[in-house]
Amino acid sequence: MKDVIRRVAADPLGLMGLCLVTLMVVSAVLAALIAPYDPIALNIMDRLQGPSWSHFLGTDQLGRDLFSRVLYGGQVALKVALVSTGVSLVIGTVLGMIAGFGPRWFDNVIMLFFDTIRSFPTVMFALATVALVGPSLSTVIIVIIVTQIPTYGRVVRTQTLTIKSSEFIKAEIVMGASTFRILTVHILPNVVGPLLILASMDIPTVIALEAGLSFLGMGVKPPTPSWGSILNDGYTLIRITPWPIIAGSIPLVLVTLGFTFLGESLRDQLDPKLRKSL
Amino acid sequence: MLIYVLKRIGLGIVIVVLAVSLLFLMIHMVPGDPARILLGPRATPEMIAHLSLKMGLDQPLFVQILKFFGNLLRGDLGMDVITNRPVAEIVFGQLPYTLWLIFTAITGAMIIGIPLGCYSALHRNSILDRITGIISVACITAPAFVVALYSLLIFAVWLRWFPAIGAGERGQFWDQVAHLVMPAFAIGLAWVGYLARLVRSSMLEVLGDNHIRTARAYGLPESTVVYRYALKLAVLPTVTVIGVGMGFLLSAALFTEIVFARPGIGKLIFDSITTRNYPVVMGSVLVSTIMFVISTTLSDLINAWLDPRIRAAL
Amino acid sequence: MSALPTTENVLTIRDLSIEYTTDRGVLKAIRNVNLDIPKGSIVGVIGESGCGKSTLISSIIRLLAPNANVPNGSIEFEKQDLLKLSEDDMRKIRGARLSIVFQDPMSSLNPVLSIGRQMTDIQYRDKKTMSQKRQRSIDMLASVGIPDPESRLKQYPHEFSGGMQQRISIAMALQAEPSLLIADEPTTALDATLEVQIINLLKELQSKMNCSILFISHHLGVIAELCEHVVVMYAGEVVEQGTTKDVFRNPTHPYTAKLLECDPARIAQKTRLLPTIPGEIPDLVSLPPGCVYKNRCDKAMEICDSKTPSWTDFKDGHFVSCHLVEAT
């Protein structure tokens, strides 16, 4: 593992990705320390200012400092990324392994389950859910978890199937290895690599999804800052000032770039057979 | 081959049934009376009673699902809470706008992206290749609604090149086209980058194949080798990608319609949520899902038809 | 330097060197290679992996990798130096005067085009009608022994067995009646019975069409069966060349002798260990001076360390590159 991290850091693409991701994580975790202002503190006197030394990204229509809001918005993004990716990864892996390794009928059931979830355009599914239970961050996270389970599940299933049919697994079974042992000792380590790459590529999607839903007002409740809600303010103010839009979009783009670079670098390091397409 | 087609269509139908059932169950899983929830806070007791009867809420769940599907097959998606019009009529009235938007976006992306990817593969590490590479990554990294916001900002607010709102006057072709440009651009931009990268790596792989070497060894002109042999193979993954991408396209269209205040299914869903017009929300999501399943099924079938190896294996 | 006047050759390679520019340095894949292919004959090239066979072939048809360059040498084919031709002129020759059959037919045939389409496509230079082209293809398929060729034209490569695919490749290669057919290990991917069939097919077609064949292989038995002349390559150099009879009966270069000794088919007595040649081919990026085979040669002398042996005609068209011969 350490070796992989070292190799990724040696690759310029990977290094940039690592830096961006670390920047995001650190700034989110330390938001309380770094942020110059309270993100929800109103200050009508200073509303709609452009960038300045006292307000790096300007202020919004209620005088709130945009830079601080962006930092705290990072906390929301981080929470969404970690929780939803973590949970859907675990559930997806378990289901994928069972589907790949277990009886055929079970595999068919799980695949149908995955396919059904995947048949919904994600945002619309999220909106349908929000329509029924009302907007909140938790709802968004749960919806994201549910829609991402098949993403991980399918990859794990494919890997499991491939490994299952290899000769040495057949030998292990003949020698009496238990299913649990095979799954944990043989299949799981082989699955970790592709999962890491997939997670890296998927996290930006997940963060963008939360941002999009918050942008629509279906995610975090005001006045909690989220990059999406900042963009929503920006949308309303578009003819007046561009700064909220810029403020909200910069972290989104940086985070997406960071994770994409990281994922590409991981893929190059973990599977040298795949040619770099960039 | 015929068997595969039937099986694949069958699978599609099963998935639609399951997805619709899931939507149906979601309404019922929420605590409270489903009819009241569906009708929202505007519901009068008479409306609730009427809907409860129609949905058969007093009957076992199984019967309710059957009724639901029965209604569905007859094209009855319920009634709009506010205007009391059939949901189906409303949804299908808005659908064409979304379809036009998606179609324009993806066609534009293909027209620009595929040749770009092809050129990049043939002229690796040339200036255009490198620029395309960087732009591709840049295009993919911004979520569709962010691109939409920026296009609105730059092209509509600052430069005033294109109209910012709506779909244009009915019956006025060029006006409608003008209103299509930016929304289609917002959606299509990411796809240009994505398709270019896909075609590039696919072409590079195919060009390295042995049978391309054979074609060259027979002195076939480079243009034949590239365009007739390599490109046809390299473009295959594009078909699958677009088929599956319909989901992303629909989601992107939703955001774009909202940002540009353009009529369409996305805007319909959003507006209906805000006005608590839940039957319309459910109806729209249902129709979108069915469209998505049709799209993936079609793309699988086209893919199988195009590649004779798959055809033979079936 | 050749005993045969070169006008009797369909292909004459003189002093050819090919290098690849790699991250590690310049890889000297082929060095000062001489090769003669007389008209109407079958010449075999034998050598282990890494001896430069593929580079040699690629240089003849001039489809070398972009990082390859040719510091010296000439490839004379039908009175033209192939290395000096423009790409357009070279294209005119490929598939018409000069054609090639590759090792793995499954991957060298286009999987998504019918074989009829592929066979008519390569006739693009001919001013014939489509039905004439189809007929030509049908005739060629018949001559390589494909049953019922007319109906098989619309089938795809994967619908044929390995042996059939190779026959189709041969049919494609001979369709334009080239003067030289290059066969790059055409039987390596096939089992022994198919190998025999393909060899017999090649013999038959060669005598009918009187083309020359350059036959690459690492299978000594096949070379002995099929080829009149043989060229032995080692680590990018030609070490011995002559008629197959001569070379196989009186192998002069120590490498050739060892090759023959190690051929399982020639081992007359039961042994516990199969003979091998100890060592590996040297690093072609940083070649030591002297003879390239010296560190594996059981007859190496002091001079082999410092001086590269020269290409000597030591007996009537039997050439060798070895200090042992020069000494005498």
pLDDT band at C317 (very low <50, low <70, confident <90, very high): confident
pLDDT band at C214 (very low <50, low <70, confident <90, very high): very high
Q: Distance (Å, rounded) from C-alpha A199 to C-alpha A196?
A: 5
Quote the pLDDT of residue A278: 30
pLDDT band at C6 (very low <50, low <70, confident <90, very high): low
Contact between C94 and B211 using a beta-carbon 8 Å cutoff: no
| Nearest chain B residue (CA) to A228 | B146
| Nearest chain C residue (CA) to B210 | C108
Q: Which chain A positions have a beta carbon within 8 Å of B248's beta carbon?
A: 121
Residue C306 has pLDDT above 90, yes or no: no
Determine contact, residues B285/B23, Cβ cutoff 8 Å: yes
| Nearest chain B residue (CA) to C174 | B218
How open is the CA angle C280-C282-C286, to the nearest 5 degrees? Answer: 160
Backbone angles phi, psi at C193, to 5 degrees: -65, -40
| Nearest chain A residue (CA) to B289 | A120
pLDDT band at B309 (very low <50, low <70, confident <90, very high): low
Q: Distance (Å, rounded) from C-alpha C46 to C-alpha C260?
A: 11
- The per-residue pLDDT for range B123-174, each reduced to its tens digit, is 887 888 888 887 777 777 788 888 888 888 888 778 777 777 777 777 777 7
**Hey, of B25, B29, B139, B285, which one would you mutate to test binding to chain A, going by the most A CBs within 10 A of its CB?**
B285
Q: Distance (Å, rounded) from C-alpha A63 to C-alpha A45?
A: 7
pLDDT band at B311 (very low <50, low <70, confident <90, very high): low
Scan residues 110-139 of C and list those with Cβ closer than 8 Å to B: 110-113, 121-122, 124-125
Q: Distance (Å, rounded) from C-alpha C87 to C-alpha C175?
A: 22
B152 at interface of A, judged by CB pairs closer than 8 A: yes
Q: Distance (Å, rounded) from C-alpha A196 to C-alpha A192?
A: 6
Rg (CA), chain A: 22
Contact between B250 and A124 using a beta-carbon 8 Å cutoff: yes
Q: Tokens for B118?
A: 């092809």
Q: Distance (Å, rounded) from C-alpha B247 to C-alpha B106?
A: 13
B22 at interface of A, judged by CB pairs closer than 8 A: yes
Quote the pLDDT of residue B178: 80
Residue B77 has pLDDT above 80, yes or no: no
Shortest distance between the Cα of B300 and any Cα of chain C, in A, equals 17
Cα→Cα distances B162→B89, B98, B143, B169, B173, Å:
31, 19, 21, 14, 15
Contact between A116 and B15 using a beta-carbon 8 Å cutoff: yes
Mean per-residue pLDDT, A173-193:
77
What region, left, alpha or beta, does residue A195 occupy, with left being phi > 0 and alpha being psi -120 to 50 degrees?
A: alpha
Subunits that touch chain A (at least 3 Cβ pairs < 8 angstroms)? B
Residue of A211 and C312 predicted with greater confidence: A211
Inter-chain Cβ pairs, chain A and chain B, closer than 8 A: 130
Residue of B224 and C238 predicted with greater confidence: C238
**Hey, of C101, C103, C112, which one would you mutate to test binding to chain B, going by the most B CBs within 10 A of its CB?**
C112
Predicted structure pTM score: 0.77
Mean per-residue pLDDT, A79-106:
91
Q: Distance (Å, rounded) from C-alpha C301 to C-alpha C83?
A: 37
| Nearest chain B residue (CA) to C109 | B211
Cα→Cα distances B206→A227, B121, B132, C107, Å:
42, 10, 20, 11
Shortest distance between the Cα of C55 and any Cα of chain B, in A, equals 14
Scan residues 2-61 of C and list those with Cβ closer than 8 Å to B: 61
Closest CA to A213 of A76, A88, A18: A76
| Nearest chain A residue (CA) to B278 | A131
| Nearest chain C residue (CA) to B217 | C94
Contact between B312 and C108 using a beta-carbon 8 Å cutoff: no
CA C35: distance to chain centroid?
Answer: 11
pLDDT band at C327 (very low <50, low <70, confident <90, very high): low
Q: Distance (Å, rounded) from C-alpha C319 to C-alpha C328?
A: 14
Quote the pLDDT of residue A114: 93
- The per-residue pLDDT for range A130-182, each reduced to its tens digit, is 888 888 888 899 999 999 999 999 999 988 888 887 777 777 777 777 777 77
- The per-residue pLDDT for range B169-191, each reduced to its tens digit, is 777 777 788 888 888 988 888 88
Closest CB to B216 among C63, C93, C99: C63
pLDDT band at C216 (very low <50, low <70, confident <90, very high): very high
**B vs C contact (3+ beta-carbon pairs below 8 A):** yes
Contact between B278 and A242 using a beta-carbon 8 Å cutoff: no
- The per-residue pLDDT for range C81-105, each reduced to its tens digit, is 999 999 888 988 898 899 999 988 8
Contact between C112 and B309 using a beta-carbon 8 Å cutoff: yes
Shortest distance between the Cα of A189 and any Cα of chain B, in A, equals 29
- The per-residue pLDDT for range C130-163, each reduced to its tens digit, is 899 999 999 999 988 889 999 999 898 888 988 8
Quote the pLDDT of residue A88: 94
Quote the pLDDT of residue C1: 44
Residue A276 has pLDDT above 60, yes or no: no
| Nearest chain A residue (CA) to B283 | A128
**Burial environment of residue A102 by CB neighbours within 10 A (0 to 12, 13 to 18, 19 or more):** middle
Q: Tokens for A268?
A: 């190059």
Closest CB to B149 among A120, A235, A239: A235
Q: Distance (Å, rounded) from C-alpha B191 to C-alpha B142?
A: 11
Query: Do strands C9-22 and C25-38 pair parallel, antiparallel, or not at all (unpaired)?
Result: antiparallel
CB count, 10 Å around CB of B118?
A: 21
| Nearest chain C residue (CA) to B214 | C108
pLDDT band at A1 (very low <50, low <70, confident <90, very high): low
Closest CB to A124 among B142, B152, B288: B288
How open is the CA angle C35-C41-C47, to the nearest 5 degrees? Answer: 45
Q: Distance (Å, rounded) from C-alpha A114 to C-alpha A108?
A: 10
Q: Tokens for B205?
A: 């792989």
Shortest distance between the Cα of B160 and any Cα of chain C, in A, equals 49
Q: Is the peptide bond before B183 cis (omega within 30 degrees of 0)?
A: no
Average pLDDT, chain A: 84
Instruction: Give the whole-number percent of chain A exceeding pLDDT 70.
Output: 97
Mean per-residue pLDDT, B27-47:
71
Quote the pLDDT of residue A148: 94
Contacts of A255 (CB under 8 A, 6+ apart): A20, A21, A24, A77, A203, A204, A207
| Nearest chain B residue (CA) to C176 | B218
B25 at interface of A, judged by CB pairs closer than 8 A: no
Scan residues 117-136 of B and list those with Cβ closer than 8 Å to A: 133, 136
Q: Tokens for B140?
A: 């993919």
Q: Among A79-93, A235-249, B228-242, C109-123, which stretch is predicted with the lowest mean pLDDT?
A: B228-242
Q: Distance (Å, rounded) from C-alpha A16 to C-alpha A5?
A: 13
Closest CB to B312 among C61, C122, C159: C159
pLDDT band at A272 (very low <50, low <70, confident <90, very high): low
- The per-residue pLDDT for range C177-211, each reduced to its tens digit, is 899 999 999 888 888 888 888 899 999 988 888 89
Q: Which chain C positions have a beta carbon within 8 Å of B307's beta carbon?
A: 112
Residue of A197 and B67 predicted with greater confidence: A197
Amino acid identity at A248: G
Q: Which chain A positions have a beta carbon within 8 Å of B140's beta carbon?
A: 256, 260
Q: Which chain B positions have a beta carbon within 8 Å of A234's beta carbon?
A: 149
Residue C328 has pLDDT above 60, yes or no: no
Quote the pLDDT of residue A274: 44
Quote the pLDDT of residue A273: 47
Contact between A245 and B149 using a beta-carbon 8 Å cutoff: yes
Residue A275 has pLDDT above 50, yes or no: no
Residue C296 is given by DSSP the state G
Quote the pLDDT of residue B310: 65
Q: Distance (Å, rounded) from C-alpha C260 to C-alpha A91?
A: 62
Q: Tokens for B4?
A: 């595969």
**Hey, of B123, B205, B210, B214, which one would you mutate to test binding to chain C, going by the most C CBs within 10 A of its CB?**
B214
B218 at interface of C, judged by CB pairs closer than 8 A: yes
